[in-house]
Every structure is written in structure tokens, then in C-alpha cells.
Amino acid sequence: MTNETTVRTPARTGWRREPGVKYLVALDVDGTLVDHDGHMTEAVKEVLGGVVAAGHHVVVATGRSKGATLPIVQLAGLQTGYAVSSNGGVTLRLDPSLPGGYEISEAVTFRAHSALTALRDRLPGAMFALEAADGSFYSTAEFQDRSFGMEARQVGFEELAGMDAVRVVVFSDEVDLGSFSRLVDEVGLHGVTYAVGWTPWLDLSASGVTKASALEEVRRSLGVEPEHTVAMGDGNNDIEMLQWAARAVAMGQAPADVAAAASEVTGTVYEDGAVPILSDLVD
């Protein structure tokens, strides 16, 4: 897999679907397809079904692990194609003939020892979790989250920092988001890609790996033209994906820097903001 991402300058107004074209539709999960309680509305399910039935290439693109992505894939009615998990670290090929209905087509691993050591020194109370290429999780404390998709096995910090990872998570409940973001900036992380979430939560991936880098590989595999890509998301880990897509849509609750990366802004997740955008792809 290459980490080269084609970034397109989206048309800022007047997007129109081209008749007969099958689009690649990249969709964030939390805050886009489901609310922050993990609920997907019937309206979203219905329009997703219509987009899939129309033959478009719907690709879930999420920071969630493989284990937490697959239930969303099933909920969205996706049986073939691809799904991107772990912020681009893992790409799944969906095929109902495969055991479990999928296989890992790409997993980009890295080691984050120096970055994690620097973060531990600045955030001594932080918790660390690591996702391995096979989807298993390890953590330095009793650290569990829905995005892991499975129970993390507790290990020592040095053991965790020396493992190959597709994603590493750092979380602190001892500082507020502003202080956390400032400390992360001050550390000056090198050799990794990172994004700060809505809370004092940091995702680390291999250098150059984002949702966009994985989606670009999917686009090329599917033979979809760059101008026939649509993406929708709401978080900092969606910025590269929005910059990559020809039609880039930020959810209504997205922060200003995420909205600035998009060509348009729709309603919030609680207003079913995904529905009118997805409706544009069906007759």
C-alpha cells in the first residue's frame, strides 16, 4: 500500500450527480451514520439501503477497530466492497463467500515507542491502548472503549510500546481537552499520523496513514474516477478524507476546522444530516 493520497479541490457549489455513474461514497460512523450513543435512525438505514441498491460503492471509513466496524457494516446492509477501519490502518474486503464475510486486505503497522514515551512523560496519568493487525487490543490499564470492539488485554507500558500497531490510543481524564491538545502539540510527535478527538483522546497511526490514504487505494482498486467521490464526516480524523473527496460534506456539529475542509455543511447527526446528502445519490 502506498501512503500517497490524491487531494482534489472540490467544487464549492452546485454539485450534481452524473446519470449512470457509480460513486464511491465514504462515510464516517460516529457522529455521521450513528449518534454518540451508537444509534442509527430508520431514516439513515432506509436511505443507505437505497444507495447500496443503486449500485454505488459505499465504504464505511472510521476510527473504530475492525471488530467495532463490522457491526456497522452489517447495519448498513453492506455485503460486498470495502470498509476502512482504524483511521486507515486496516482495510477490509467484504465478500459473503468468505469466512465471516470479510478478509483483511491491508494492514499498515508501525511502532510508536518514542512517541508514547514522550507522551507518558508529559501525561503521567494517561492510559494507552494498542490495536494489533489482527484486531486484538492491549492496554496499560483498565481502559475500555466501544470503538475497540473487544476487551483489551492489560500489559505493561514497555511491552505495549514495543508492539507493532495499526492504531494506538492515548486518553487522559486528568486534563481538559484544551490542555490535552496543547500538551500533544508541545510534544512534537514525529514519524506518526495523529488526530485529537472530541475529548482528551489521541489516535496515532503510521506516518501518512489516514482514512484518505486507504480510500485512495480503494478508489484505484474499484476504478472510480476522482471526481466521482463523496465523503461525509464530523471529526478531526475526517479532515484528510474531506480534502480528498470531490464532494466533501461536514456534519452540522463539526468543528470549524473540519467544516473548512469540506465543500458544504449538512445538518447535525441528530437532525439526520446524512439523509439529504445520501438521497442525492438515488432516484
Q: What is the pLDDT of residue 199?
A: 82
What are residue 169's phi and psi, to 5 degrees? -115, 135
Strand 127-131 versus strand 90-94 pairing type: unpaired
- Strand 167-171 with 127-131, pairing: antiparallel
Same domain, 96 and 213: yes
Same domain, 196 and 122: yes
What is the domain-level CATH number for residue 241? Answer: 3.40.50.1000
As a whole number of angstroms, the distance between CA 2 and CA 58 comes to 22
85 and 198 in a single domain? The answer is no
Ramachandran angles phi, psi of 107, nearest 5°:
-140, 120
CA distance linking residue 79 with residue 186, whole number of Å: 44
Whether residues 80 and 122 share a domain: the answer is no
**CATH number, position 124:** 3.30.1240.10
pTM of the model: 0.88
Mean pLDDT in consecutive groups of 10 residues from the start of the chain, 283 residues: 39 74 97 93 96 97 93 94 96 96 95 89 89 91 79 92 92 86 82 79 89 98 97 96 97 96 96 96 91
Q: Which of 172, 263, 267, 241 is nearest to 25 (CA)?
A: 241
| Helices and strands (H and E) in the chain: how many | 9, 14
Count: domains in the chain: 2
Do 47 and 82 belong to one domain?
A: yes
Q: Which residues have CB under 8 Å from 214's CB, separation 6+?
A: 1, 61, 84, 88, 89, 91, 106
Whether residue 214 sits in one domain with residue 201: no
Domain boundary among 206, 225, 255: 206
pLDDT score of 104: 95
94 lies in the same domain as 144: no
Residue 135 lies in a domain: yes
Residue 200 shares a structural domain with residue 224: no
Query: Which residue segment(s) compose the domain that 128 sits in?
Result: 113-206
Nine-digit cell at 172? 487522559
